[in-house]
Amino acid sequence: MEARSVDEIPRGREWKYEPKWDGFRCLLSREGSSVDLRSKSGEDLARYFPEIVAAALGLKPDRFTLDGEIVVPQGKGFSFDALLQRIHPAASRVKKLAQETPALYLVFDLLATAREKQLAKAPLSERRPALEAFTKSYLKGSIFRLSPATASYATARKWLAQSGGGSDGVIAKRVDLAYQAGNRDGMQKIKKFRSADCVVGGFRYATNKIAGRNVVGSLLLGLYDDEGLLHHVGFTSAIKTQEKPDLTDRLEALIGEPGFTGNAPGGPSRWSTERSAKWCPLKPKLVIEVCYDHFSGGRFRHGTSILRWRPDKAPRQCRFEQLKQKLAYPMKLLK
């Protein structure tokens, strides 16, 4: 069951709302002594989260299927960076991290039990009470936690306004529909988008040339800390093709070391090529306002979109403090 992205929280009696967790979506199935953890893309996650497998095997019911999210707690919230570290090829490393940063499985749907094998065909109005009863009987005091749900539009708006720290929006589900496997008809997601003024501390050239010349492919964004160091926090590649030649001229005139004086863009990784890892440092002269959906671990989690250039803003005014917000602290929402 997948979600369709929308701009506003839908209203009406046919909707129920849940926090949108910032983790790994995962179907968990147990059949006797076998436990399967399956990602949204169909990948097997069981080897990376042995503590969840062990917890599932320790439950009294020996046949059930749950839909939920894998997260790693850190403080009052969840850490996506710590979650990413769990995806490691070495079994010894996985075992060590399972002990140091154990995961939680946040449950938000029950699709089958030994008695109700076709529960997924029932509407959410029946599946949710069945999930709550299942949780009360079998999941208390374990690494399984019930994800909250509400019919209150006001509560959903509050969750959206306070999203962050492991929750990055709101999910709306149709209470009158069965589990919509493989489509987006029964579920919508709404994210909280924010804006930030950032210094352009560097840029990368695009792989493809325009009219035989190299042009900008992405802008590297920076924010200042309290010590006056400029840290790399993300990028934007949402640059219109027709604007790239003139923007490249503007950027090349500002090329100069060091660019970022704090954390700088890293080198090649398993997701990048040698070319994509190369970047040009810029003198801190340009300020751009970008739109983002989530900030964690000192950087924007995803690529940002450009809202406008800010020639009226001094680069030194672009500081981390503008990102501060009141969070709901996801751990407080869990039962």
20 is catalytic: yes
Entry field: residues in the chain: 335
DSSP 330: G
Spatial distance between the Cα atoms of 90 and 293, rounded to a whole number of angstroms: 32
Chain position carrying tokens 């959410």: 124
Under a CB-based contact definition with an 8 Å cutoff, are residues 239 and 304 in contact? no
DSSP-derived pairing of the beta strands 24-31 and 187-191: unpaired
Write down the catalytic residue from 16, 20, 173, 192.
20
Q: Of 231, 241, 295, whose CA–CA distance to 263 is shortest?
A: 231
DSSP 198: E
Cα 334 to the center of its chain, rounded Å: 18
Tokens standing for 73?
């707690």
Residue 304, beta-bridge partner list: 236
Residue 104 phi/psi, 5-degree rounding, is -115, 150
DSSP for 15-32, please give it: EEEEEEESSEEEEEEEET
Cα 76 to the center of its chain, rounded Å: 17
DSSP for 63-124, please give it: EEEEEEEEE-EETTEE-HHHHHHT--S-HHHHHHHHHHS--EEEEEEEEEESS-TTGGGS-H
Residues known to be catalytic: 20
